[in-house]
A and B are shown apart, each in its own frame.
Chain A
Amino acid sequence: MADVILVVAEQRSGQLNRASFETIAAAQAIAKETGWPVQVVLPGNQVMPLAAQLAQQSVQSVYALEAPELAAYTSDAYVHALSQFIGEKQPRVVLFPHTYQVRDFGPRLALALDRTLISDATGYKLDAGRLLFTRQMFQGKFTADVAFTGDAPWMATIQIGAFRADTSAAAQAPVERASAAVSQSSARITPHEIFQEAKQAVDLSQAPVIVAVGRGIKEEKNLSLAQDLANVLGGELAASRPICDNGWLPLERQIGSSGQTVAPNLYIALGISGAIQHIVGVKGARTIVAINKDREAPIFEIADVGVVGNLFDVVPALTAEIKKAKAGS
């Protein structure tokens, strides 16, 4: 067992994602308290230039884990390559970003190594030498401290946005190429090109004001209440996933992990409970106003202003009041 924190970084089509840097930041925070050095492994094909970028992150070393079969992601190839690599290195801790890709292969990898994976951690605690990870449960209504009861490697995925990425360059750490032996005969899954649906007509990421609706809006016809509020503020209308699943608003107006990530000056959440998948999309908002009938709703955890009340009463009153304020100014 090596006292090392290994970060499994992620790239897609020659680009590192921000979540990888956030996970390195999480590893560095743990390293600061434990003294365990941080190493990074980047699976892919011909990823040495990207590995060199990661090597500027104040880490001990970076491995480019390469094989032609890792060029386009499949869970089988990733599990095979990484289980060998981790099995050999025996790091004490392995951290991953909680991306869709890691959700796809991470659990299988942990089981292949006869270990467990604590998923979607928002933080960690060191409790008398024991490493705990904190994670949200019951859609964010509670937080849990979760412990490993078995042997290292202790594996966890880090929630998007939970740690602040430091992308400023530090001294260059050594980069090493590690070739992975992946058997091609086991290809059960054939991946095709990644694509986007029809070009998006709205770019919510640039909107200064967003009024977003959730399940609390109850019926499609009630959307006009939210639209009126958005109009007086010169903002865009958006929604949490269930609203788009119902077809009440197009998918391009969906905010959250599967939709858009936004950073408006003002974000007004109407009848949105604040499930994790939604909250990760709005963490960048400067001011958040939440209106919800349930005072325990997790959305209030991230709100600057929380209104406990019936949105069908509060929203028209708020629209009228803003109209008045704008007319007076």
Chain B
Amino acid sequence: MKILVCIKQVPQKDAPLKLNAAGTWIHEDVSYEVNEPDAYALEEALRQKEKHGGEVVVLTAGPARAQQVLREALAKGADRAIHLEDEKFVQLDSANTARAIHAAIAQESFDLIVTGLQSDDFGAAQTGVLLAEILGIPHATIIIGIEKTDTGLRLKRELEAGHYQHIETTMPALLTIQSGINKLRYATLIGIKQAKMKPVRKVTWADVESKISPNLQQIVRLYVPEKQKRTEMMEGPAPEVARKVVDYLRTAARVI
């Protein structure tokens, strides 16, 4: 199976984020990591390759810093990487990101494309689904189990509130992967060494620009959320805070 994994570099979960002066984006001088569901998508691709043979290609779109997540993926066992490298890729809407990816892989044909179900930054949960539409292939979302069959794939799809569904699809197909589908591996020392020798193909903005349309949606303003509730904030030595919380629970909330 020839598998493409689309991954994204996002700010680290506990990184303190600050707004830019225009209030339209964050200050980008923060620590980054791979988007968590994408890490599970990569792991799943590596496992499928181990079972059925083939190749795992990992792709990201973002500035030079994003190469870090490709290196990590190569160290974990991906065979090669594609980097759509430009600052401008960060601000594309989901449809344009999908178009750019499509343009970058136009010369290849994959049996399976996997990506995380959504990103921790935008959280639009659309790019994968849109890439399937552009490629004209079937897709399935929020997948927590993949089994190759003679005719295609048998998938376990997560639904709300503890419900699940099995579905079957033909290949090629695109799947968006839910966190927790597998246990993530760590890169080995040998893997990290080998990663340095593995090919990374760079794709520039100019290479794909002709396929990109104007964004159809745009962030007008980014801001700290407006409070929905009056929150009583407490801080201080633990015993003192504990007394204050208990006091609140007894007198104000009357729950103990």
User: Do residues A308 and B233 form an inter-chain contact, with CB atoms below 8 A?
Assistant: yes
Q: List 12 A-B contacts (CB under 8 A).
A: A100-B159, A116-B215, A119-B123, A132-B220, A194-B163, A200-B162, A260-B162, A287-B255, A294-B16, A303-B231, A305-B234, A306-B234
Q: How far is the CB of B130 from chain A (nearest CB, A)?
A: 5
Bound-state CA distance A304–B248 (Å) is 10
Cβ contact of B123, chosen from A107, A136, A147, A259, cutoff 8 A: A136
A108, chain B: closest CB distance, angstroms:
4
Is A307 touching B235 in the complex (CB atoms < 8 A)?
A: yes
Contact A265–B255 (Cβ < 8 Å): yes
With contact pairs A137-B123, A144-B222, A192-B167 given, residues A251 and B13 touching in the complex (Cβ less than 8 Å)? no
Cβ–Cβ < 8 Å partners of B217 in chain A: 116, 118, 146-149
Contact B160 A142, beta carbon cutoff 8 Å? no
| A324 CA to B124 CA, complexed, in Å | 47
User: Contact between B164 and A195 (Cβ–Cβ < 8 Å)?
Assistant: yes
The 8 closest A-B pairs by CB, nearest first: A245-B180, A116-B216, A317-B242, A313-B238, A188-B138, A317-B238, A107-B126, A321-B242
Answer whether residue A39 sits at the interface, using C-beta atoms and an 8 A cutoff.
no
Q: Check: B166 CB closer than 8 A to any chain A CB.
A: yes
Q: Which residues of B contact A295 (CB under 8 A)?
A: 233
Q: Given contacts A266-B255, A287-B255, A307-B245, is CB(A301)–CB(B219) below 8 Å?
A: no
A residues less than 8 Å from B215 (CB atoms): 116, 149
State in angstroms the CA–CA spacing of A145 and B214 once bound together.
18
Cα of A111 to Cα of B249 in the assembled complex, Å:
50
Chain A positions near chain B (C-beta within 8 angstroms)? 75-76, 99-101, 103-104, 106-108, 110-112, 115-120, 127, 132, 135-150, 188-197, 200, 209, 215, 233, 241-242, 244-245, 251-252, 257-261, 265-266, 273, 276, 286-287, 289, 294-296, 298, 300-310, 313-314, 316-318, 320-322, 325-326
A225 → chain B closest CB, angstroms: 12
Question: What distance in Å separates the Cβ of A240 from its nearest Cβ neighbour in chain B?
Answer: 11
> Chain A's nearest CB lies how many Å from the CB of B84?
19
- Asked if B17 and A107 make an inter-chain contact with CB atoms under 8 angstroms apart, the answer reads no
Chain B positions within 8 Å of A, measured between CB atoms, are 11, 13-14, 16-17, 19, 26, 93-95, 120-126, 129-130, 132-134, 138-142, 158-170, 178-180, 214-236, 238-239, 241-243, 245-246, 248-250, 253, 255-256
* A301 engages B229 (CB within 8 Å): yes
A189-B140, A321-B243 in contact; A303/B229 too (CB < 8 A)?
yes
What residue of chain B has the Cβ atom nearest to residue A246's Cβ?
A: B180
Q: B225–A305 contact, CB under 8 A?
A: no
Q: Are A304 and B162 in contact (CB under 8 A)?
A: no
Which chain B residues lie closer than 8 Å to A321 at the CB level?
239, 242-243, 245-246
Task: Name B166's closest neighbour in chain A (CB-CB).
Answer: A192
A245 to B117, CA, bound (A): 15
CB-defined contacts of A143 to chain B, threshold 8 Å: 222-226
User: Given A108-B133, A116-B95, A286-B255, is A318 in contact with B229 using a C-beta cutoff of 8 Å?
Assistant: no
Bound-state Cα–Cα, A112 to B95, Å: 11
- Choose from A117, A244, A261 the contact partner of B180 (Cβ within 8 Å): A244
How near does chain B come to A97, taking the closest CB pair, in angstroms? 11
Q: When the two chains form their complex, are residues B169 and A189 in contact, meaning their CB atoms are under 8 A apart?
A: yes
A215 to chain B, nearest CB (A): 7
User: Of B124, B129, B220, B249, which contacts A145 at CB under 8 A?
Assistant: B220
Q: Which of A75, A111, A137, A289 is B245 in contact with, Cβ under 8 Å?
A: A289
B227 / chain A contacts, CB cutoff of 8 Å: 301
CB neighbours of A303 from chain B (8 A): 229, 231
| CB-based contact B167/A259 at 8 Å | no
B219 pairs with A146, CB closer than 8 A = yes
**Across the interface, do B11 and A306 meet the contact criterion of CB distance under 8 Å?**
no
A189 to B139, CA, bound (A): 8
Task: For B232, give its contact among A100, A112, A120, A304 (CB under 8 Å).
Answer: A304
| CB-contact partner of B239 in A118, A192, A317, under 8 A | A317
Chain A residues whose CB sits within 8 angstroms of the CB of B161 once the complex forms? 259-261
Q: Are A301 and B241 in contact (CB under 8 A)?
A: no
**Contact yes or no, B95 A111, CB < 8 A:** yes
The answer on a CB contact under 8 Å between B158 and A107 is: no
B129, B235, B242, B246: the one within 8 Å of A104 (CB): B129
Instruction: For the complex, give the distance between the alpha carbons of A141 and B224 in Å.
Output: 7
Within the complex, the shortest CB–CB distance from A159 to chain B, in Å, comes to: 11
